[in-house]
């Protein structure tokens, strides 16, 4: 295990390591003589004798002595010491078999496994004197009392500028200096004074809220342009999910950010910045519900190979795939058709991609005809898993997800009291999921809606509940054929992808709507749809390159303008 942990104070910490318990104790850990190293940032701090300190503790684990550790983030390593000096030139073929299968592997019995790691402390803790956060706050430190005032003003000026996302004014600094002086007097040190000022900054509404000041000289209900500083905050929270940096604030202070060329240059700079990874993670999490992977728990008895490593690989694949469209400024339609993806060994094994080894992700071409099912978003394991149930696939859920995600169509919710019973009678011959859904699909009160989206779900039925390709279900060949309401015949993933390509213009509009929703922080209303269509229409001239959609959103009135609200008195009347 490699654990990145934030230690809250300078002090002593104790680590407890437990082995696997219960059933796993009987099938894992029958090799003796193992040693287990505990390291902090790569330096060994303790070495366990597994047999005497952990293996014979009846599941209670082994405790280390107290270890002195400085406050801040540190990497805690828990790893077994290699015990074989035999040269080995073979390729490490991880994931060839599941961990919980008893017996030997490659002729050897199983080695012990770490189950849990506990970190306790701090004991004898003292306030931290050197941490990354303190280094960011204390840009100066007085050598004597006479230097404290000027140093405090310098620190407070920087804190206020960052917290309020604008240059600090003299009145801002004077106000916070009053809190500094009170804290300095009551706490008896420079640090306490800065702490009091920082508390006041963090309690200020200008820090807590991203306020946009309405002009006083325009009528209620009138549109007005955001100030450059307000636009800088909108941009940074849109693309970085964080504060604007110095360059953005400087340009805004100079009143240059509304200049079209300057704005475009800044957007290009921000997208190329590593901080734009936050946009990729948060936008794919919101639009594609990739964050839903955290709650996906396929039943282990049915899908024993599914684990946290695969879950994380699924999510990273989506983020790197979407990021490639952004960084290479490709057409968003490539999200539907791209013949490449990003995998590590774990994910490649799951997809049936050969010659990929190691935990590092790399771009792979999906040229093999058998891998064409992985082209574009439709073949991504994350999306296929979050649209399934824990024990089986769900054509209903997948079909509705497809319509909403790719075409922006939300089918009606089922009537109250409608339940789908997919259980089988005892002794009955196993039926495929399609056969079990047949009675429900033929129910007149259900079929009119289900025929809107179920064919799309059945077209994805060759993917099981964790996105693995299959041709059989309950011993029966999978039937992925259906006909949608407009008469289009679907016979699997390929025909469903063709359907999205033929409706690429609609997909681009949906993508625009999702971008605009994310950018302004509210859902789109019917009044917004002409704007959405106009942005997509303009982007069509550049084949829907991502940058054309992005700049269309940023330069739109919804993003860089606001409307003056009605007065409270008028609303009350």
Single out the residue in 168, 186, 208 at which a domain terminates: 208
**Per-residue pLDDT, 86:** 54
DSSP secondary structure of 252-298: HHTT-TTSHHHHHHHHHHHHHSGGGHHHHHHHHHHHS-GGGGGG---
**Is there a domain that residue 560 lies in?**
no
Please give the average per-residue pLDDT across 419-433, as a whole number. Answer: 61
Same domain? 145 vs 83: no
Please give the average per-residue pLDDT across 511-527, as a whole number. Answer: 95
Please give the average per-residue pLDDT across 154-169, as a whole number. Answer: 96
**Is there a domain that residue 102 lies in?**
yes
Per residue in 42-88, pLDDT (tens digit) is: 999 999 999 889 888 777 889 999 999 999 899 999 999 876 655 55
Same domain? 118 vs 150: no
Same domain? 114 vs 155: no
Domain count, the chain: 3
Per residue in 88-106, pLDDT (tens digit) is: 555 555 555 444 444 444 4
* Mean model confidence pLDDT for the chain: 88
Single out the residue in 189, 208, 227 at which a domain terminates: 208
**Per-residue pLDDT, 241:** 96
Domain holding 39: CATH number?
2.60.120
Same domain? 153 vs 118: no
**Is there a domain that residue 322 lies in?**
no
**Per-residue pLDDT, 447:** 62
Closest CA to 15 of 113, 117, 123: 117
pLDDT at 473 over 60: yes
Same domain? 7 vs 84: yes
Same domain? 22 vs 120: yes
Count, in order, helices (H) and strands (E) of the chain.
Answer: 23, 16
Single out the residue in 77, 95, 126 at which a domain terminates: 126
Per residue in 121-140, pLDDT (tens digit) is: 999 999 887 788 888 999 99
**Is there a domain that residue 7 lies in?**
yes
**Is there a domain that residue 224 lies in?**
no
pLDDT more than 70, % of the chain: 86
Among 129-138, 147-156, 433-442, the range scoring the smallest mean pLDDT is 433-442
CB-CB neighbours of 545 under 10 Å: 19
Closest CA to 546 of 290, 292, 283: 283
Same domain? 104 vs 193: no
**Is there a domain that residue 333 lies in?**
no
Rounded to whole angstroms, the Cα distance separating 397 from 412 reads 13
Same domain? 151 vs 106: no
Residue ranges making up the domain that contains 27: 2-126
Site of tokens 């009170």? 182
**Is there a domain that residue 131 lies in?**
no
Same domain? 121 vs 40: yes
Please give the average per-residue pLDDT across 259-265, as a whole number. Answer: 96
Per residue in 193-250, pLDDT (tens digit) is: 999 999 999 999 999 998 888 888 888 888 999 999 999 999 999 999 999 999 999 9
Per residue in 528-573, pLDDT (tens digit) is: 999 999 999 999 999 999 999 999 999 999 999 998 887 654 444 4
**CA–CA–CA angle 164, 169, 174 (5° rounding):** 105
**Per-residue pLDDT, 340:** 98
**Per-residue pLDDT, 107:** 46
**Per-residue pLDDT, 514:** 97
pLDDT more than 90, % of the chain: 70
Q: Contact 177/151 with Cβ under 8 angstroms?
A: no
**Is there a domain that residue 277 lies in?**
no
pLDDT at 109 over 70: no
**Can you read off the two tokens belonging to residue 63?**
């405790």
**Per-residue pLDDT, 413:** 73
Give the SS3 label for residue 16.
strand
Rounded to whole angstroms, the Cα distance separating 62 from 244 reads 47
The dihedral sign for the CA sequence 134, 139, 144, 148: negative
Same domain? 185 vs 89: no
Residue 442: Cβ-neighbour burial (10 angstroms; 0-12, 13-18, 19+): exposed
Closest CA to 336 of 411, 409, 285, 405: 405
């Amino acid at each position: 295990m490699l654990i990145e942990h934030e230690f809250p104070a300078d002090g002593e910490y104790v680590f407890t390591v437990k082995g696997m318990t219960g059933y796993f104790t009987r099938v894992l850990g029958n090799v003796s003589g193992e040693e287990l190293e505990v390291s902090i940032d790569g330096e060994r701090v303790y070495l366990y004798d597994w047999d005497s300190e952990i293996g014979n503790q009846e599941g209670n684990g082994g405790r280390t002595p107290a270890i002195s550790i400085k406050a801040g983030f540190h990497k805690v390593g828990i790893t077994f010491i290699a015990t074989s000096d035999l040269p080995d030139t073979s390729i490490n073929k991880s994931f060839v078999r599941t961990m919980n299968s008893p017996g030997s592997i490659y002729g050897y019995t199983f080695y012990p496994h770490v189950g849990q790691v506990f970190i306790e402390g701090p004991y004898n803790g003292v306030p931290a004197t050197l941490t990354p956060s303190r280094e960011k706050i204390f840009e100066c430190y007085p050598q004597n009392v006479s230097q404290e005032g000027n140093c405090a003003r310098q620190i407070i000026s920087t804190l206020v500028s960052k917290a309020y996302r604008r240059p600090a004014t003299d009145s801002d600094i004077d106000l916070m200096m009053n809190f500094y002086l009170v804290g300095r007097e009551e706490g008896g040190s420079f640090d306490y004074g800065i702490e009091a000022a920082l508390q006041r900054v963090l309690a200020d509404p200008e820090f807590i809220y991203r306020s946009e000041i309405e002009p006083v000289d325009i009528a209620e209900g009138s549109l007005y342009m955001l100030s450059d500083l307000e636009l800088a905050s909108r941009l940074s929270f849109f693309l970085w999910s964080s504060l604007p940096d110095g360059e953005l604030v400087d340009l805004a202070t100079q009143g240059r950010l509304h200049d079209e060329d300057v704005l475009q240059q800044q957007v290009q700079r921000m997208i190329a910045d590593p901080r734009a990874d936050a946009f990729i993670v948060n936008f794919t999490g919101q639009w594609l519900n990739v964050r839903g992977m955290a709650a996906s728990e396929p039943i282990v008895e049915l899908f024993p190979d599914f684990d946290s490593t695969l879950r994380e690989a699924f999510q990273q694949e989506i983020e790197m795939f979407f990021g490639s469209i952004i960084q290479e400024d490709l057409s968003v339609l490539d999200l539907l058709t791209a013949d490449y993806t990003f995998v590590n060994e774990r994910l490649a094994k799951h997809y049936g991609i050969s010659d990929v080894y190691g935990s590092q992700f790399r771009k792979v071409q999906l040229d093999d005809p058998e891998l064409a099912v992985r082209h574009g978003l439709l073949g991504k394991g994350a999306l296929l898993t979050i649209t399934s149930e824990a024990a089986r696939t769900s054509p209903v859920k997948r079909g509705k997800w497809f319509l909403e995600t790719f075409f922006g169509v939300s089918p009606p919710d089922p009537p109250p009291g409608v339940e789908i019973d997919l259980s089988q009678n005892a002794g009955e011959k196993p039926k495929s999921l399609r056969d079990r859904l047949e009675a429900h699909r033929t129910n007149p009160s259900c079929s009119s809606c289900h025929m809107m989206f179920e064919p799309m779900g059945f077209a994805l039925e060759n993917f099981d509940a964790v996105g693995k390709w299959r041709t059989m279900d309950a011993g029966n060949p999978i039937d992925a054929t259906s006909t949608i309401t407009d008469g289009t015949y679907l016979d699997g993933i390929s025909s469903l992808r063709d359907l999205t390509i033929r409706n690429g213009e609609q997909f681009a509009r949906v993508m625009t709507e999702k971008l605009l929703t994310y950018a302004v922080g509210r859902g789109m209303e019917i009044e917004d749809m002409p704007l959405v269509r106009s942005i997509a229409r303009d982007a069509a001239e550049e084949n829907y390159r991502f940058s054309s959609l992005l700049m269309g959103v940023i330069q739109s009135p919804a993003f860089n303008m606001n409307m003056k609200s009605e007065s409270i008195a008028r609303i009350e009347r």
